[in-house]
Chain A
Amino acid sequence: MKIIRPVALLGAAALLVAGCSGGGGGGDDGGEGVEATGPIDIWLSNNEQEVAWGTAVVDAWNAEHPDEQVTAQEIPAGSSSEEAITAAITAGTAPCLVFNIATAAVSGWVRQGGLVDLTQFDDGADYINERGGDSAASYMTDDGFYQLPWKSNPVMVMYNKTIFADAGLDPENPGMESYDDFLAGAQQIVDSGASQSAIWPSPTSEFYQPWFDFYPLYIAETGGTMLVEDGEATFDSDEGRAVAEFWAQIYADGLAPQEASTDDAMSVGTTAMQLAGPWAIASYAETVDVGFMPVPTSSGSEDVFTFADSKNVSMFTSCEAQGTAWEFLKFATSEDSDGQLLELTGQMPLRTDLAATFPEYFEANPSYEAFAGQAERVADVPSVPNSVETWQAFRDGYSAAVIFGTAPVDEFLTSTAETINGLVAE
């Protein structure tokens, strides 16, 4: 009897669980929510400059819209923004808009039923296509725009000019565009003792780490091919092999450490190079004299492509005033707001002909000009099902074959491509 009672209670709890988890009724708000207006909440990245931009834009909007006030806050703390947003979707506490959406997470949130397809708004598709140009189409999921392509941080090779000079490299024109030249320059840096390592990409296992080692170079080597295209992994190819072997060489020669840095390696001078976007200019302005060069390719070609590292804006189905949210989204991504974003953060709005749209800014800030040109030649992560799993599978295989050299590169490319083909086909 003593045992039966707790078991019965647990059974009842289990039944309760089973009953509750069947999901409630309801569904998409449909047209009603799309028209609705009223006060809304938005989340911004916790980057200091972006918060300043967001606050200014919200203040400008609120001054003109007393009945549709916008309240901005930083994305709640979490291991990553994506985890905080996923939890908020599940709990129904997501705000109307989040201005920091990573493309890789979108397919999962669409599957959760957490995002609004912006083409539901009458002018939705037109606005996005007009602002983003041809590249906007690559941000579609299930034939819908669940994110508005907002800004990019084209990845380039950032280097410490002082270390380069100490190592005997020309800090203004290092001449490291090809793999051979890059490896020779990197070796020169380490041999000279100017820095402990030549380059220090994070060797950790997070799914997004390939975006800052393999992927920019792969996009450059292939002229803009994404990791997955038309439902097939593309990297089991000569280009993919060339990039993987290049990085494997870097690690095998001890030019990049296999362990994570305990500090910001650029700031403390334990490395000479990092892959980074324009955000780094402001971040390192006080500590390091940085220069930028395009990511290397096997042949050292000019006008290379790179990884866009875009951050976009999504609207959430929990939003009750979707009409206001859409109007605010257009306001925050207008030419004026984009100019303000560029001015305050140095990040590149994802709109056509950037340099011609904001010529004064690039004249006044020549260090950003290289990024403006690079922003015209970018590719992003593909919008595919099981996106995070896909990148995690890639990272796991890459870590073994390239960083730690415990598996052959060819085997990694073939088996990981096979795994990823299975994942995106689900």
Chain B
Amino acid sequence: MTTAPTAGQDRVRAQRRGWLGAQPIGSLFTLPYLVFVLTIFAYPLGFAVYIAFHDYFFTAPGVEVPKPFVGFDNFAAVLTDERVLESFRNTAVFLVINVPLTVVLSMVLATALDSGVRWASAYRIAFYVPYLTASVSLVGVWMLLFSSGGLINSVLGPLAPSPSWLINSTLAMPTIALYVTWKQLGFYILLYLAALQNVPRELHESAMTDGANGWQRFRAVTIPGVRAATTLVLILAIITGANLFTEPYLLTAGGGPDGASSTPVLLIYQQGIQQQNPDTAAAIGMLLVIVVGLLSLTANRLTRES
């Protein structure tokens, strides 16, 4: 025997559905991830915003110290700091080299691997190994390669730049950009390989029937076919590039020479952790979030299908 639900029960059920959605069990399953996002991302982000607007420093538990609201003072301080501005300019140089290079190389190499080139599996592994290897150990190899007496300069002989790559204020950041492109390439190739599986073979066959050559098929079929992957690669490359830390910290010995490869995240580390000024560090972090957000939005718009 069943009983018809009362109007009150209906209201409660509707309310519950309002909060938990049409699939309450599904919402329940997403709860752990929601908690994770709130504690690992939302809380620190909110805290960073709070810190950026206060004269803040970390204290021992139980120590009460005034941390007054200072409005935009911390932002004004970092925006008038030449080192901060230089770090953003350096990041721009990095992104201008790294992002297009990453997109073009990974797309071309993935297409080549997808077209049934010989030793494709070996190439895939070769491209992926640098991505899997810890940057700390790879940086050591690049230091040996690009130091003044390193292999690259030995090969170049009189053509070797002076000062050498890593201590040359013009070449330090491009060298880092090349290193990061090489290191991350395997991951982006993998994304493109997955995307290429979804490009219908019939499109290529039709194009061939119409007399299109390899380049024309690549331009007219492959590139539009992997547009969604290109958007993802662009955004990921921008985000990881803007968060550059390990490479300038290790490869160019703390953003050298003379700050030519310093980055906002390196300054956040210096000011927030070493110098105990989390307020200005948080202000740099907020600026970085805004810049990366705008760049990602632009990348998304540019690659959106009209």
Contacts and interface: CB of A to CB of B under 8 A. Distances in A.
A25 to B, nearest CB: 7
Contacts of A383: none
B275 interface: yes
B276 A205 contact: no
B36 interface: no
Identify which of A9, A25, A205 gathers the most chain B CB atoms within 10 Å of its CB: A205
Nearest to A316: B60
Contact of A92 (B60, B164, B167): B60
Interface in B251-291: 253-259, 270, 273-277
Contacts of A28: 63
A24 B58 CA distance: 13
A23 B276 contact: no
B42 interface: yes
A23 B65 CA distance: 8
Contact of B61 (A24, A83, A205, A258): A24
Given A108-B276, A318-B60, A259 B253 contact: yes
B275 A83 contact: no
B38 A13 contact: yes
B59 interface: yes
Contact of B63 (A18, A112, A386): A112
A14 B254 contact: no
Contact of A86 (B56, B58, B64): B58
A52 interface: no
B50 A14 contact: yes
A27 interface: yes
A399 B257 contact: yes
Nearest to A10: B42
B71 interface: no
Given A23-B63, A388-B275, A406-B258, A262 B147 contact: yes
Interface in A60-98: 82-83, 86, 89-92, 94
B256 A205 contact: yes
Contacts of A121: none
Contacts of A318: 60-61
A266 to B, nearest CB: 17
Contact of A14 (B46, B149, B166): B46
B60 A114 contact: yes
Contacts of B149: 196
A206 B63 CA distance: 30
Interface in A102-129: 108, 111-114
A261 to B, nearest CB: 9
Contacts of A316: 60
Interface in B25-71: 38, 42-43, 46-47, 49-51, 56-65, 67
Contacts of B51: 21
B266 to A, nearest CB: 9
Nearest to A262: B143
A323 interface: no
A111 B256 contact: no
A82 B144 CA distance: 29
7 contacts: A90-B59, A90-B60, A91-B61, A204-B256, A207-B274, A207-B275, A388-B275
Interface of B: 38, 42-43, 46-47, 49-51, 56-65, 67, 83, 140, 143-144, 147-149, 163-164, 166-167, 169, 253-259, 270, 273-277
Given A23-B63, A26-B64, 8 more contacts: A13-B46, A21-B50, A89-B58, A257-B148, A318-B61, A399-B257, A399-B258, A406-B258
